[in-house]
């Protein structure tokens, strides 16, 4: 009997997918479900971008691009960094990928050997540990506290590398999924200095860059040119289904990633790349900034209401579109809470166990990537449910 490889067996589906399937069944039965579990913008891709894709199709611009991406797009990203984040980076160091997912695969594959340890925050983005399994690498979750901006302290990092001598890489995210926390610049400076001192590669996932609330915006690359940056058109630019992202890597890694990209997927989608050339246009950014303000309004509203209802949110989100809320006032098991909230109240949210082990039974993630009207209604449903 032919069995799937061990690495495939190690990779778990998301628990929220189970909940989504249940939600679909309930919806098919005519129940109204409010979705606060999704991890993508509720807004459509701006028209200017879509129109450019239509033009590209009509002009038959549908052949492969270079594996590293269209030079014009790499230049446009470099220009955007300079304009919006005062981060000056050569387009050569920017590699266009199929989503941040493609960037994560390339960067991790270029850095890690089989048997190495990958240091991750727990909670953190669930796919990271699964990329580790794919590469026969051991994911090491570092339990992180709300009181420390959901980041490991230098002491904890020192302990982690003592316990895991094969640690070669540390992965962080800012703003973070699921916590919405942002890494302060001075904190990143000290983390980057620590990484350098211990010969650890530092990856910072900035996929939610641009979606921040009243906090200093900077790019990790301006702290240290040796940081590997992950980014994407999925979130701020509302292009999740276009499958387009990018990574910024130290110069020496460019040929390595070029080679990997050529072999793993050839190139990112051509029409998406052409369309994305319009993503930095003034009129598009204006629309995206209005949306950013709406996320902030909704996040603030949901934050206040959840607190009123008795959730604890020890770290107020400063970005992304998530709230990571402690529901231990109502339950011993957040997964059970999500199940009951879905079935009894018709609100879908994500259980903490999708993001790691640490305190997973206490936490749930809610997203504010839904209309204010739906969020208000969800709050009423949650109120009725817990009372
Ligand atoms: C932190 C983080 N990184 C990476 C991704 C992958 O995004 P994409 O491949 O759509 O760019 C996501 C998607 O939700 C995410 O939340």
For ligand 1, pick from 108, 174, 208, 234 the residue to mutate: most ligand atoms within 8 Å of CB.
234
pLDDT band at 15 (very low <50, low <70, confident <90, very high): confident
Q: Please name the residue whose Cα sits nearest to atom 4 of ligand 1.
A: 100
For ligand 1, pick from 101, 231, 369 the residue to mutate: most ligand atoms within 8 Å of CB.
101
State the chain's mean pLDDT as an integer: 97
Q: Please name the residue whose Cα sits nearest to atom 13 of ligand 1.
A: 39
Predicted local confidence at residue 236, as pLDDT: 98
The alpha-helical segments, DSSP class H, found in the chain are 6-10, 15-28, 47-58, 71-85, 99-111, 127-134, 154-163, 185-197, 254-264, 270-276, 282-309, 334-340, 372-386
What phi and psi values does residue 70 have, to the nearest 5 degrees?
A: -65, 130
> Cβ-count burial of 173 within 10 angstroms (0-12 exposed, 13-18 middle, 19+ buried)?
buried
Bridge partners, 300 (sequence order):
none
Predicted local confidence at residue 50, as pLDDT: 98
Contacts of 196 (CB under 8 A, 6+ apart): 224, 226
Q: Please name the residue whose Cα sits nearest to atom 7 of ligand 1.
A: 100
State the DSSP H helix or E strand holding residue 323, giving kind and residue range, or none if neither.
strand 322-326
State the DSSP H helix or E strand holding residue 236, giving kind and residue range, or none if neither.
none
What percent of the chain shows pLDDT beyond 90?
96
Per the structure block, which two tokens stand in for 166? 């094969």
For ligand 1, pick from 14, 232, 236 the residue to mutate: most ligand atoms within 8 Å of CB.
232
Contacts of 157 (CB under 8 A, 6+ apart): 119, 142, 170, 191, 194
The yes-or-no verdict on residue 378 having pLDDT over 90 is yes
For ligand 1, pick from 124, 177, 276 the residue to mutate: most ligand atoms within 8 Å of CB.
177
Predicted local confidence at residue 281, as pLDDT: 97
100 C-alpha to center of ligand 1: Å? Answer: 5
Contacts of 310 (CB under 8 A, 6+ apart): 329, 330, 386
Contacts of 326 (CB under 8 A, 6+ apart): 311, 312, 313, 314, 359, 362, 363
144-163 average pLDDT score = 97
Predicted local confidence at residue 16, as pLDDT: 85
For ligand 1, which residues put their CB under 6 angstroms from it?
39, 99-101, 125, 173, 177, 205, 207, 232, 234, 240, 245
Question: Strand 245-248 and strand 228-232: pairing?
Answer: antiparallel
Q: Chain-centre distance of CA 288, in angstroms?
A: 18
Higher-pLDDT residue of 16 and 246 is 246
List Cα–Cα distances, 244 to 1, 136, 169, 233, in angstroms: 38, 26, 24, 6
Atom of ligand 1 nearest to the CA of 98: 9
Minimum mean pLDDT among 214-223, 230-239, 313-322: which range?
214-223
Predicted local confidence at residue 18, as pLDDT: 85
The residue whose two tokens read 């989100």 is: 317
Q: How far apart are CA 70 and CA 104, in angstroms?
A: 19
pLDDT band at 55 (very low <50, low <70, confident <90, very high): very high
Q: How far apart are CA 33 and CA 378, in angstroms?
A: 9
Contacts of 46 (CB under 8 A, 6+ apart): 238, 279, 283, 284, 287, 288
Bridge partners, 138 (sequence order):
117
Atom of ligand 1 nearest to the CA of 39: 14
């Amino acid at each position: 009997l032919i069995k799937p490889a061990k690495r495939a067996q190690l990779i778990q589906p998301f628990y929220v997918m189970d909940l989504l399937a249940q939600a679909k069944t309930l919806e098919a039965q005519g129940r109204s479900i409010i979705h606060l579990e999704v991890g993508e913008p509720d807004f459509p891709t701006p028209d200017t971008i879509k129109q450019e894709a239509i033009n590209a199709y009509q002009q038959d611009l549908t052949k492969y691009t270079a594996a590293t991406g269209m030079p014009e797009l790499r230049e446009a990203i470099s220009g955007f960094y300079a304009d919006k984040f005062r981060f000056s980076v050569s387009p050569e160091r920017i590699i266009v990928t199929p989503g941040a997912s493609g960037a994560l695969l390339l960067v991790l594959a270029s850095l890690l050997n089989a048997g190495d340890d990958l240091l991750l925050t727990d909670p953190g983005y669930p796919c990271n540990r699964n990329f580790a399994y794919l590469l026969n690498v051991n994911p090491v979750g570092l339990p992180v506290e709300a009181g420390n901006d959901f980041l490991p302290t230098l002491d904890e990092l020192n302990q982690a590398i003592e316990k895991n001598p094969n640690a070669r890489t540390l992965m962080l995210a800012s703003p973070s999924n699921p916590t919405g926390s942002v890494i302060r610049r001075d904190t990143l400076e000290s983390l980057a200095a620590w990484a350098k001192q211990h010969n650890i590669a530092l990856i910072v996932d900035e996929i939610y860059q641009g979606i921040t609330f009243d906090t200093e915006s900077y790019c990790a690359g301006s702290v240290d040119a040796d940081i590997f940056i992950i980014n994407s058109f999925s979130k701020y630019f509302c292009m999740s289904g276009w499958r387009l992202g990018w990574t910024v890597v130290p110069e020496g890694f460019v040929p390595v990633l070029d080679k990997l990209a050529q072999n793993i997927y050839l190139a990112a989608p051509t029409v998406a790349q052409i369309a994305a050339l319009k993503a930095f246009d003034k009129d598009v950014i204006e629309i995206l900034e209005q949306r950013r303000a709406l996320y902030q309004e909704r996040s603030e509203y949901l934050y206040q209401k959840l607190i009123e209802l008795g959730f604890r949110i020890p770290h107020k989100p400063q970005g992304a579109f998530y709230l990571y809320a402690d529901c231990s006032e109502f339950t011993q098991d957040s997964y059970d809470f999500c199940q009951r909230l879905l079935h009894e109240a018709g609100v879908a949210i994500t259980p903490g166990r999708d993001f790691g082990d640490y305190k997973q039974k206490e936490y749930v993630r809610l997203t504010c990537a839904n209309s204010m009207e739906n969020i208000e209604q969800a709050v009423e449903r949650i109120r009725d449910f817990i009372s």
